[in-house]
Every structure is written in structure tokens, then in C-alpha cells.
Amino acid sequence: MEEQAIQHKWYVVRVKGGQEKKISTYIEKEVNRLDWNEYVTQILVPTEKVYQIRKGKKVSKERNFFPGYVLIEANLVGEIAHTLRALPGVFGFLGEKKGGEPVPMRQSEINRILGKVDELAISDEYVNIPFVVGETVKVIDGPFNSFHAEIENIDEQKKKLKLIVKIFGRKTPLELNYMQVEKV
């Protein structure tokens, strides 16, 4: 490749869903093998940490923010774009026309995405609410342990559920947090 002023832009690579991390590793290995580190400077799979309640325990899980996509910062000169397209699990670049050049992202778009990635890294919890109003759940904590209750209301801010428990044929209101119930 002839020397020229290296200008890096962000591109979105379409990849096989669920294999974003694996494919980003392929890209990284290929870049290192071909000594293209000055041309491909960053490979990013934006993820967010999601918390779910399973069996009364808070479980954290990493979820892809853009399933099926990997972001790369690169100067796609010479054979770089062609080589990346040929990697296993890579379908091509987002926005490219058949046989055309990959289309870089606008700076405003990438700033927004990178800002969101930073924001997700800073925010410590986002609880994925696995419950819906009208659903029956089992109480696993407190004086109503092992009772079944119907969800009447969900307070996402406080992470609380308003429940109705039937005791001796009478409906009794109850307020518990997500950790104190589990799906039936």
C-alpha cells in the first residue's frame, strides 16, 4: 500500500448475530497478522450490562447494544475492506452499494454512539423487568413466603411490585421488591 495521509473514519460492519465478540476477535487477529494496526485503529462491540432477577437473585448479563454489528475505526485503503468482508461471519459494511465503497458514519452519529457506550459503562445498573401486570408470581421472601400473588402494578423507579395475595378467600394488597418474588 502506498503511503498517504492516513484518515480514519468509523464504519459499521454487518456480522452474524450473536457472534459479534468472536468476529471482532477475528478482525483483530487479521489486522495484527497483516500488520494493519495503523489502518484499523479500533474495533468496538458496544454492550450494556443488564440485570435480571432469576430465582430471587440478581444476575448481571452483558447484552449487545447493536446486535449483528461491529464498529471499526479505520482507513480503508487498498485491500483492507475486501479482506474484512471475506472474514467468516462478516456480511459486509452497512450502507455500501453492491460492489461499491463502504460508507463511513457521520461524526454526529459516532459521537452519539460513543457517548452512549460511555454512559452505559458509568451507569451501574439497569434492571430488566421480567414481570408484567396481571401475571401470577410466587412470593419467596417475608411473611407471605410461598404464597402466589397477582401483579397489579409495577413501579420501575422504586423497583417494586404491587401485588394481590388471596388469604382465606380475601384479597390482600402487598408491596414487594423484585427480589422478593419469582416467576411461577
Residues 130 and 127: their CA atoms lie apart, in Å, by: 9
Diameter of the chain measured on Cα atoms: 83
Cβ atoms within 10 Å of 98's Cβ, excluding its own = 5
Q: Is the pLDDT of residue 8 over 60?
A: yes
Q: Is the pLDDT of residue 54 over 80?
A: no
What domains can be seen in the chain, in order of their start residue? 9-122 (3.30.70.940), 136-183 (2.30.30.30)
Cα separation values, 106 from 11, 16, 113, 148, Å: 9, 24, 11, 52
What is the average per-residue pLDDT within 57-65? 77
> CB-based contacts of 51: which residues, under 8 Å, 6+ apart?
58, 59, 60, 61, 125, 126, 127, 128
Confidence of residue 3 (pLDDT cuts 50, 70, 90): very low
Q: What is the 3-state secondary structure (H, E, C) of 18-51?
A: CCHHHHHHHHHHHHHHCCCCCCEEEEECCEEEEE
pLDDT of residue 126: 52
The more confident residue out of 11 and 179 is 11
What is the average per-residue pLDDT within 14-26? 92
pLDDT of residue 71: 93
pLDDT of residue 129: 67
Kindly state the percentage of the chain with pLDDT values over 90: 40
Q: Specify the range with the lowest mean pLDDT, choosing from 28-32, 78-82, 93-97, 173-177.
A: 93-97
What is the average per-residue pLDDT within 179-184? 84
Span 109-160, pLDDT tens digits:
888 887 776 666 655 555 566 788 999 999 888 888 889 999 999 988 788 8
Q: Say if CB 72 and CB 27 are below 8 A apart.
A: yes
Is 180 in a helix, a strand, or coil? helix
What is the average per-residue pLDDT within 164-180? 89
